[in-house]
Amino acid sequence: MFRTKINALATAALGGAVVLGGVTMAGPDRPATTTLAGAKATPLVTAYSPAAETTGSRLSIGLRVSGYNKARGKRNGYRLVTRNGRKMIVKKGKNPVPYEVKGPCGSSWFMFTTPNGTHAKSFTFRTGYRVIAPVAVYRWAWRIDGPGRVGWSDTRTGFAGGAKKEFPGRHAIVRHGRYSGLVTNAWVVLTDGRMCASLHPTDVRNF
């Protein structure tokens, strides 16, 4: 229920003001109405348990092309064309870039950085992405679930930036036991118009 239609969300974010994860993002022709740094993680009650956890952690996993945003590409001088039966992204003075839905466009990760089995008072983690071209806009959301009904969620959004971005964090260990972290709904739109979706990296530790 946490998975959103990424193409629709990204298109809305690029075409007009829209609320994403509690943060109002401005469209390309409207000023931002609030800070885009994202809110602090807030405790929540949850019983969410990703099925992927049953097969172990996937600390780092790829980003895949999920669609093309024509307006964003045009804004930066790019066009999606078909040449000899193949779709290409072209821009004057640049080499054509092959366009393929589900093609690779980077990597994403979620990992706890506190050692497994540590009976500490808090734990640390980091999540983020690295893509193959400059970024126009991004939305990065994750959640952490602990033993019982303890958990946190967070969403970060922003415009522009380099090819890599990382979000570190720390939370108090409310109760010792099994903790799982998962990138839930996360995407990046490149300046050439390609929309890249995270494939949900996850990590599981006992603290």
CB atoms within 10 A of CB 16: 13
Residue 4 in domain = no
Contact assessment for residue 82 and residue 68, using Cβ atoms and an 8 Å cutoff: no
pLDDT for res 143: 96
Is 92 part of a structural domain of the chain? no
**pLDDT, tens digit, for every residue of 130-184?**
999 999 999 999 999 999 888 999 999 999 878 999 999 999 988 888 999 999 9
Task: Report the amino acid identity of residue 203.
Answer: D
* Model pLDDT for residues 17-50, shown as the tens digit of each residue: 333 333 333 333 222 222 223 333 333 322 233 3
- The Cα–Cα gap between 119 and 148 comes to 17
Alpha helices in 60-110 (DSSP H): 70-75
Share of the chain above pLDDT 90, in %: 50
**23: Cβ contacts below 8 Å, ≥ 6 apart:** 34, 35, 36, 38, 39, 155, 157
- Could you tell me which of 184, 177, 191 has the C-alpha nearest to residue 3? 184
Are the C-beta atoms of residues 141 and 153 closer than 8 Å to each other? yes
Host domain of residue 111:
35-73+101-206
Residue 122 has pLDDT above 70, yes or no: yes
Q: Is residue 15 part of a domain?
A: no
In a domain, 193, yes or no: yes
Question: What confidence tens digit (pLDDT) does each residue in 83-119 have?
Answer: 888 999 999 888 898 898 898 999 999 999 987 776 7
Distance separating alpha carbons of residues 152 and 169, to the nearest angstrom: 11
Residue 180 covered by a domain: yes
- Asked whether 187 and 66 are in contact (CB, 8 A), the reply is yes
**Cβ burial, residue 31 (10 Å; 0-12/13-18/19+):** exposed
CATH of the domain at 139: 2.60.40
In a domain, 14, yes or no: no
The token pair at 63 is: 């980003």
What's the mean pLDDT when you consider all of the chain? 76
Q: Is 129 helix (H, G, I), strand (E, B) or coil?
A: strand
The verdict on residue 16 lying in a domain is no
Answer whether residue 60 shows pLDDT above 60. yes
Three-state DSSP state, 26: coil
Taking the C-alpha atoms of residue 105 and residue 202, their distance in angstroms, rounded to an integer, is: 19
3-state secondary structure of 100: coil
Q: Could you tell me if residue 176 is inside a domain?
A: yes
- Please tell me the total count of domains within the chain: 1
More confident residue, 29 or 65: 65
End-to-end CA distance of the chain: 28
